Amino acid sequence: MKITENVFQLESTKRSHIFLILAEENILIDTGMPKPVKEILDELQGLGVAPKSIRTILLTHHDVDHIGNAKQLQEATGADVWAPEEDIPYITGERIRPGVKRVIGAIVRPQKPVIAGTYVTKKRFADVQALRAPGHTPGHTIFQYQGIVFTGDLFKFIDGRFRLFPGFMNWNQNEVKKSLSMLKKMEFEWLLPSHGGPVHNSPAAHDFLAQF
């Protein structure tokens, strides 16, 4: 799905999106649930994007539906993978995901990418800015690029409705609300959540954010 001239929501991952930014160095945001990576690479090539032109992969957080293909895409593209500092122990397996995510992590075991660095040490990637937005996970991070905010798992937008993740899926519900409150202060044309459809700047979007 084409969002703007140089931002795409890939169709090869349906439930947890991968986003492509065509920039000075092409960037992927998140990598979806583990699946045959060939489908993702074929879609990139269908868009005229050579896999080796992907130089950066940015992970919003440690959940398996976001890091699922990071290792394989890293190997296929040669890209550097960046991640939130607080979430790296969960990505590498040094710490076990809490609550229900422990069970999911035991069933779905994504391969572990090599992490190039964290958003503590580097906050900008070409014109993409990393912004700490904890709550869903300790290090949950969103990204701002021109008039677009990639909101990760701060909320879902499904069937035209805004929905929060249930409390048992969040690390800290109060921190989620604080992070959502950040969005009220940001100028945007589009909010792109990882689950559901894109959200255009509209009265409905502002009404949703006004709750926080």
Tell me, what's the pLDDT at 94?
Answer: 87
pLDDT in tens, the chain (212 residues): 999 999 999 999 888 999 999 988 899 999 999 988 999 999 999 999 999 999 999 999 999 999 999 999 999 999 999 999 999 999 998 888 777 777 677 777 888 999 999 999 999 999 999 999 999 999 999 999 999 999 999 999 999 999 999 999 999 999 999 999 999 989 999 999 999 999 999 999 999 999 99
How do beta strands 124-125 and 115-118 pair?
Answer: unpaired
The residue assigned the tokens 């950066």 is: 56
Contacts of 203 (CB under 8 A, 6+ apart): none
CB 29 within 8 A of CB 60: yes
Q: At 48, list the tokens.
A: 């005229």
For residue 2, the one-letter residue type is K
Class of domain 2-209: alpha beta
Tell me, what's the pLDDT at 33?
Answer: 93
Q: pTM here?
A: 0.95
- Angle value at C-alpha 153, between 152 and 155, nearest 5 degrees: 115
Q: At 109, list the tokens.
A: 């075991």
Tell me, what's the pLDDT at 103?
Answer: 67
Q: At 71, list the tokens.
A: 């290792």
Q: For residue 68, what are the β-bridge partners? A: none
Burial class (CB within 10 angstroms; exposed 0-12, middle 13-18, buried 19+) of 23: middle
Domain boundaries, the chain: 2-209
Local structure of residue 88 (DSSP, 8 states): H
Tell me, what's the pLDDT at 78?
Answer: 97
